[in-house]
Amino acid sequence: MDLLTTLPNTQSEFFLSQQDATPYHYGRVHTDDQQFPQNAEFYLCGNKPMVVEQMASLKSRGYTNIYLEIF
């Protein structure tokens, strides 16, 4: 995560639902109240209900660069 935050011309937001990892977002993963650039890339990984819910929410807002890993 430290390396990702040093990439030029990027902004990284991390949401972790299983462990407290200050200074990252902690708790249930949700993006409804977050604003992202239209060309943002999303990497969702986790249990199927969370991934499907967040993917649907992002797609309904017009985001298309969504990558998934369900486990």
pLDDT tens profile 14-35: 777 666 666 776 667 777 878 8
- For 31-67, the pLDDT digits (tens) are 787 888 889 999 888 889 989 999 999 999 999 999 9
Token readout for 10 is 């990027």
Domain count, the chain: 1
- Do β-strands 66-70 and 42-46 pair in parallel, antiparallel, or remain unpaired? parallel
> What pLDDT shows up at residue 48?
92
Separate counts of helices (H) and strands (E) for the chain: 1, 4
* Backbone angles phi and psi of 56, in degrees to 5: -60, -40
| Mean pLDDT computed over 5-20 | 76
pLDDT bin (cut points 50, 70, 90) of residue 8 is confident
Domain that holds residue 53: 4-70
